[in-house]
Amino acid sequence: MTSIDFFSPHRFCEFIELTADEREGLALLHGPVMRVERGQVIRRSGESVHEVFFLIDGWVISSLDLPEGERQIVKVHLPGDMLGSPSMTLEAAAETLTAITPVVVSRVSLSAIGRLFTTAPRLAAALFMSVQQERVILMDRIASLGRSTASQRLAAFLLHMYDRMRVRDPAQGLTLSMPLTQENIGDITGLTAVHVNRTLRQFDEDGLVLCRRQSFTILDLPKLRKLSALPERQWARRPAWLEASLAAVPVPAE
Span 97-156, contacts to DNA by CB under 7 A: 149-151
Q: Is 44 in the site for a second copy (CB under 8 A)?
A: no
Return the residue of 26, 108, 125, 196 that touches a second copy, per CB under 8 A.
125
C-beta of 29 vs 211, nearer to DNA: 211
Which one of 5-13, 28-36, 197-205, 240-248 is the stretch in contact with a second copy (CB under 8 A)?
240-248
Q: Least separation, in Å, of the C-beta of 27 and DNA?
A: 33
Q: Is 241 in the site for a second copy (CB under 8 A)?
A: yes
Judged by DSSP in three states, 147 sits in helix
C-beta of 125 vs 188, nearer to DNA: 188
Q: How far is CA 168 from CA 2, 31, 78, 171, 206, in A?
A: 10, 23, 9, 9, 29
Residue 197: which of a second copy, DNA, none does it interact with, CB under 5 to 8 A by kind? DNA
Across 6-42, b (16+ Cβ under 10 Å) vs e yields eebbbbbbbbbebeeebeebbeebbbeeeebeeeeeb
Across 125-134, b (16+ Cβ under 10 Å) vs e yields bbbebbeebb
How many residues make contact with a second copy (CB under 8 A)? 73
Q: The dihedral of CA 150, 151, 153, 157: what is its sign?
A: positive
Q: Least separation, in Å, of the C-beta of 197 and DNA?
A: 4
How many residues make contact with DNA (CB under 7 A)? 20
Q: Least separation, in Å, of the C-beta of 134 and a second copy?
A: 6
Which one of 98-106, 184-192, 195-203, 212-220 is the stretch in contact with a second copy (CB under 8 A)?
184-192
Which H/E stretch holds residue 214? Answer: none
Q: Least separation, in Å, of the C-beta of 109 and DNA?
A: 33
Distance of CA 70 to the CA centre of its chain: 21
Q: Which residues pair with 177 in a beta bridge?
A: 215
Residue 19: which of a second copy, DNA, none does it interact with, CB under 5 to 8 A by kind? none
Which one of 24-32, 88-96, 166-174, 209-217 is the stretch in contact with a second copy (CB under 8 A)?
88-96
Q: How far is CA 51 from CA 9, 29, 40, 42, 105, in A?
A: 18, 11, 18, 11, 12
Q: CB of 108 within 8 A of CB of 25?
A: no
Which one of 3-11, 145-153, 165-173, 174-182 is the stretch in contact with a second copy (CB under 8 A)?
145-153
Residues in the chain, overall count = 254
β 60-65/96-99 pair status: antiparallel
Which one of 35-43, 60-68, 99-107, 200-208 is the stretch in contact with a second copy (CB under 8 A)?
60-68
Q: Is 3 in the site for a second copy (CB under 8 A)?
A: no
Residue 57: which of 184, 171, 168, 172 has the closest Cα? 168
Q: Which residues bind DNA (CB under 7 A)?
A: 149-151, 181-183, 190-195, 197-201, 211, 213-214
